[in-house]
Amino acid sequence: MSMNCEDVERFAGAYADGELDLERTLALEAHVSTCAACTTRLDEAHAVKHALRAAPYFRAPEALAARVRAAAAAASTDATGMARQANILRVQRNRWRPWLLSAVSLAAAALVFVVVLRERAAVADDATTEAVIEGHVRSLMAGHLVDVASTDRHTVKPWFAGRVDFSPTVVDLVTDGFPLVGGRVDYIDRHTAAALIYKRRDHVINVFVWPQATGSPSHVTRSDVRGYHLISWTRGGMAVWIVSDLALSELEDFGRKLDAAMHD
């Protein structure tokens, strides 16, 4: 899949919201990396997203909210208008000050709340990232890569029955150059995970899958930690984490094909 400027315009909002699937995320980023206009477009989408994010926590009374909107509109007028506004403000300062202060403190409180929420989310992601790497390294230790060794997904999938309380989708990617090696049950960051093991040449790829609350938007994250590449996303109520020391471009290719095959 490749994207042009029109596609980016269409998907910029979803991308900023973390709601694009892996394939579209990669295609969008590939285009944006070579297009200044779309880089600007994406920056704007991010700005809008942050403004909207703050909104639900801004529980101002409607009358106050209306006045804040009016003030914001006034603030965005041209220099002449602003000068005139400043005069009006000066005249009405005493009358305006109380709501201005409460608006500022509400905005500050909203900002703190948003920052706390985002940091909490980041910490959760970091903890999972560490746990995924640990799971990967652990699996590379002698004799611990697979509990069921098979290149046949019709053998691997039923093996999980009774071992995990969900049914992981197991796909065959051998024609794409990523043969299935087997499966394993693992425990990742307080999740009982189905681990699916694929190979690319002599590189091992661990795919960790566990149920994620349904309705959560797909959210693609990527990180590089100590020589390992990680890509994660959620779709169809499942969190998928892939980890390997494979080159990032190859792991992205794998992720794209895995995601597509899992949702055929």
Amino acid code (one letter) for 213 = A
Scan residues 144-203 and list those touching Zn ion (CB under 5 A). none
| Strand duo 203-211 + 221-225: pairing | unpaired
CB of residue 20 vs Zn ion: minimum separation in angstroms? 16
Backbone φ, ψ for residue 234 (5° rounding) = -125, 145
Q: Which stretch binds Zn ion (CB under 5 A): 37-45, 168-176, 203-211, 222-230?
A: 37-45
How many other CB atoms are found less than 10 A from the CB of residue 80? 8
Asked if 38 interacts with Zn ion (CB under 5 A), we say yes
Q: Six-digit token pair at 83? A: 């000068």
For Zn ion, the closer of residues 27 and 193 by Cβ is: 27
CB of residue 16 vs Zn ion: minimum separation in angstroms? 16
CB of residue 47 vs Zn ion: minimum separation in angstroms? 18
Place of tokens 């309380």: 165
CA angle 40, 76, 13 (to 5 degrees): 35
* Closest residue by Cα to residue 231 from 210, 213, 248: 248
Q: Which stretch binds Zn ion (CB under 5 A): 4-12, 102-110, 167-175, 246-254?
A: 4-12
Asked if 122 interacts with Zn ion (CB under 5 A), we say no
Asked if 35 interacts with Zn ion (CB under 5 A), we say yes
Place of tokens 């709601």: 19
For Zn ion, the closer of residues 20 and 146 by Cβ is: 20
Scan residues 54-83 and list those touching Zn ion (CB under 5 A). none
Asked if 132 interacts with Zn ion (CB under 5 A), we say no
CB of residue 8 vs Zn ion: minimum separation in angstroms? 5
Asked if 30 interacts with Zn ion (CB under 5 A), we say no
Q: Which stretch binds Zn ion (CB under 5 A): 1-9, 65-73, 195-203, 253-261?
A: 1-9
Q: Which stretch binds Zn ion (CB under 5 A): 31-39, 53-61, 79-87, 178-186?
A: 31-39
Among 1, 5, 88, 108, binds Zn ion (CB under 5 A): 5
Q: Which stretch binds Zn ion (CB under 5 A): 29-37, 132-140, 183-191, 247-255?
A: 29-37
For Zn ion, the closer of residues 38 and 230 by Cβ is: 38
| DSSP state, residue 55 | G
What gap in Å lies between CA 98 and CA 227, rounded to an integer? Answer: 55
For Zn ion, the closer of residues 5 and 72 by Cβ is: 5
What gap in Å lies between CA 264 and CA 49, rounded to an integer? Answer: 31
Q: What is the dihedral of CA 152, 180, 143, 192, to 10 degrees?
A: -90
What gap in Å lies between CA 236 and CA 144, rounded to an integer? Answer: 29
What gap in Å lies between CA 14 and CA 25, rounded to an integer? Answer: 10
Give residues in contact with Zn ion (CB under 5 A).
5, 35, 38
